[in-house]
Amino acid sequence: MPAETAPIEPVNILLVDDQPGKLLTYEAILDGLDATLIKATTAEEALTALLKTDIAVILMDVCMPDLDGFELAAMIRDHPRHEKTAVIFISAVRLETDDLLKGYRTGAVDYVSVPVVPEILKAKVQIFVELYRKTRQLDALNAELEERVKQRAEQLEASHAALQESSERLRLASEAAKLATFEYDATTQMLRWSANTSDVLHRDVPEQQSFEDFMSVVHDDDREMVRNYVRTANYADSIAELEYRVTSARGISWILARGRAINIGDTQRVLGTVLDITERKSAESHQQLLMAELDHRVKNILANVAAIARLSSANAVSVASFASALDGRIHAMSSAHDLLRQSSWTGVDLHELVQGALAPFRSRSTNDIIVDGDRIRLTSKFGQSMALVLHELVTNAVKHGALSTAGGKVNVGWSRITTPEGDKIAFSWQERGGPHCSKPARNGFGLAVIRSAASECGGTAEMTFSPEGFQFDFQGELSSRTQLVGTRHIAIVPKARTPLPAASIPAPRSCRILLVEDEALIAMQLKLDLETEGHTVVGPYAQLSEGLRAATETNFDIALLDINLGADNSAPIAEILDRRMIPFAFTTGYNDLVFLPPRLREYPHLKKPYNPGDVTDLIKMLAFRADEQHAASTSNQVA
């Protein structure tokens, strides 16, 4: 195959003459030069073309009306971009020697006299065109060569700088990571340390020392382990790790050694690093302590729940009353736990505890509940007990006391008392305007909780069953268990003026309900409750993949979605239901709505542990919405 030829670089030739006929003649003569011919009839047009275009050769008439060729050539030469552009003068008059010299001084490279011989003109122009092309090629080659030389010089300089900085970078990185290096020679049994080893081990360490000298600073219980680590070093392609202790200026420091054994000629060596892991070990110990504390708290919670169940069952007159009492008491503990979690288990504000205990009963009563008390912070243990006390007081008031009839009132107050014996707290619950009050024939669970709370906190409780109403007073030396956290707060819990939203919604029809819940026992209980009310449960599904498949492929009316599904959350399922316009609600054991996309956070959610009444109300609301959407869809289809 013939060799490929390089493409010819296009060039421009400027033709300057005030007579258009001559320009056409020059254009015909120069045809076939692989060049673009640019014509100008005035000096102004010529200068404009030169400003816009790179020109290889200028073919110029000497005599022009506005500006002669010599003056135009001088102006062109003054521009840096065109100071080397070839200019050929064409003259129709005989030029004297002085004229020729003038032309050469202004930048002319040749003269052509009239009449023009086409072959001569074309040959001269072609020579300068080729010269222009060669010059451009040489400039490109020189620029490329200079760039290569520059790049190579930069590479050599960068390589040299990298070599210089490599050692410094390694040193700085080791110091920043508090990482030291060592080299052990198995033949001489000598250790060589990096310069920062003393900072890592927190003691003076020489740059070179014998292995036995180093063993003197290793903890007695770890010395044999360190000897075996070095003695049985694996000379394969692997890294061995060892954690051991050394004596240091800080006492005992934990060290992590990572080493790899290699053969250098006939010498066996171990190269590695040492790192101070004392803080990590301390954190691990602290984590183990936290796990033990968590285990302790969980077992205490389970023990409390078991005690509540036993005491509730002992005083229950029926299974239904037992279930209702147990559920309410567990909810009271759950509310207290929520407040304690918000304060990282450092304590609970008594005002918030009281308001939380009374909140579920506001809509069920037409009576005023007045709360008046100092801002006092209780310990976590006392807060849980107080939550049960408040629950028993308010439920008894609703069932038998002032909150069971119209016109009844409850006054709840507490204060911080300073006495010579120390700080005390006084708490009072007073009922008025209710039915006739008398002392009960037997002590139930509520009285037992109240008395145990008083005993636990080192205080005394007094219960008065006067005909005007029940009164509970508690006073104890609790200065060591409480803190004053703010100014006095007075609040009135008003009468409920509007019913719960679900109260105005009719009982729902039997629904198909998608249930996504990863806790097996909770799922079973919720499914049983829903089926008892006549609904059909689709599921329950415990995994995200199963829930996604059911949400896409299954027919149902409404859905309940547990937010957390192990390591996943149910947001993708909710988005499918949202697109399908199927009403749904989230279920959650804590405030984890932040894991959801913002537009899903406003959907209804049900907090664990479930209250059967709340579940029923939620299902009524979701079913009502489903019927509304179905009716709207049917109406649109008819229209």
pLDDT tens per residue across span 456-476: 555 677 888 888 899 998 887
- Is the preceding omega at residue 2 within 30 degrees of 0, hence cis? no
Preceding peptide of 540 cis, ω within 30°: yes
Contact 128, 88 (CB under 8 A): yes
Q: Three-class SS of residue 584?
A: strand
Asked if pLDDT for residue 504 goes beyond 80, the answer is no
Helix (H, G, I), strand (E, B) or coil at 49: helix
What per-residue confidence (pLDDT) applies to 635? Answer: 66
E-strand spans in 176-276? 179-185, 190-193, 208-210, 240-248, 251-264, 267-276
Residue 494: C-alpha distances to residues 20, 340, 349 (Å):
104, 26, 21
Task: Write down the CATH superfamily of domain 11-141.
Answer: Response regulator (3.40.50.2300)
What is the H or E stretch that residue 304 is in?
helix 278-315
pLDDT at position 128 over 80: yes
Rounded mean pLDDT of 344-351? 72
Each domain of the chain, given as residue ranges in start order, spans: 11-141, 177-276, 287-493, 505-638
449 and 389 Cβ atoms separated by less than 8 Å: yes
Going by C-alpha positions, the residue among 612, 525, 519, 620 that lies closest to residue 331 is: 612
The mean per-residue pLDDT over the stretch 385-395 comes to: 79
Residues ≥6 apart with Cβ < 8 Å to 346: 380
Residue 584 has which token pair?
A: 């749904």
- Mean model confidence pLDDT for the chain: 77
Instruction: Take residue 327 and report the two structure tokens written for it.
Output: 């559920």
Most confident of 36-40, 98-102, 107-111, 610-614: 36-40
HSE-up (13 A, CA, CB side) for residue 591: 6
Distances, alpha carbon 291 to alpha carbons 279, 299, 303, 334, 637, in Å: 18, 12, 18, 21, 60
Lookup: tokens for 244: 């051991």
Segment 171-194 mean pLDDT: 80
621-631 tens-digit pLDDT: 898 888 888 77
Confidence of residue 296 (pLDDT cuts 50, 70, 90): very low
Name, in order, each residue with C-beta under 8 angstroms of 59's C-beta and a sequence gap of 6 or more. 13, 14, 15, 16, 26, 30, 88, 90, 121, 125
Q: Which residue has the tokens 């070179």?
A: 208
Q: Is the pLDDT of residue 514 over 90?
A: yes
Give the pLDDT score at 631. 79
The two three-digit tokens of residue 597, written as one number: 């996309």
**244 closest CA partner among 209, 278, 268, 286:** 278
pLDDT above 90 for 610: no
pLDDT digits (tens, 9 = 90+) for 183-198: 888 888 899 988 888 8
The residue whose two tokens read 């329950």 is: 540
Enumerate residues 6+ apart whose C-beta is below 8 A from 359.
Answer: none
The length of the chain in residues reads 639
Return d(Cα 301, Cα 609) in angstroms, integer.
14
Nearest CA to 103 among 138, 140, 71? 71
Q: What is the DSSP letter of 360?
A: G
CATH 3.40.50.2300: does it fit domain 505-638?
A: yes
530 versus 171: the higher-pLDDT residue is 530
Give the global pTM.
0.38
Phi-psi category of residue 602: left, alpha or beta, with phi > 0 → left and psi -120 to 50 → alpha: alpha
- pLDDT exceeds cutoff 70 at 307: no
Residue 513 has pLDDT above 60, yes or no: yes
* Overall CATH class of domain 287-493: alpha beta
User: pLDDT band at residue 552, thresholds of 50, 70 and 90?
Assistant: very high
**pLDDT above 70 as % of the chain:** 72
Domains 11-141 and 505-638 share a fold: yes
State the distance between the two ends of the chain, measured CA to CA, in whole angstroms. 77
The continuous run of DSSP H or E covering 562 comes out as: strand 558-562
CA distance 601 to 517: 18
Q: Looking at residue 548, what is its pLDDT?
A: 93
Q: Which residue has the tokens 């770890």?
A: 222
| Greater model confidence, 596 or 424 | 424
**Alpha-carbon span 496 to 149, nearest angstrom:** 88
The model's confidence at residue 551, banded by pLDDT at 50, 70 and 90, is: very high
40-54, 342-356, 390-404, 578-592: which has the minimum mean pLDDT?
342-356
Is there a contact between 393 and 429 (Cβ–Cβ < 8 Å)? yes
Residue whose token pair is 């559920």: 327
Give the span between the Cα atoms of 571 and 598, in whole angstroms.
11
Between CA 629 and CA 524 the distance in angstroms is 29
Q: What is the distance between the alpha carbons of residues 341 and 587, in angstroms, rounded to a whole number?
A: 19
- Superfamily of domain 177-276 in CATH is PAS domain (3.30.450.20)
CB 371 within 8 A of CB 351: yes
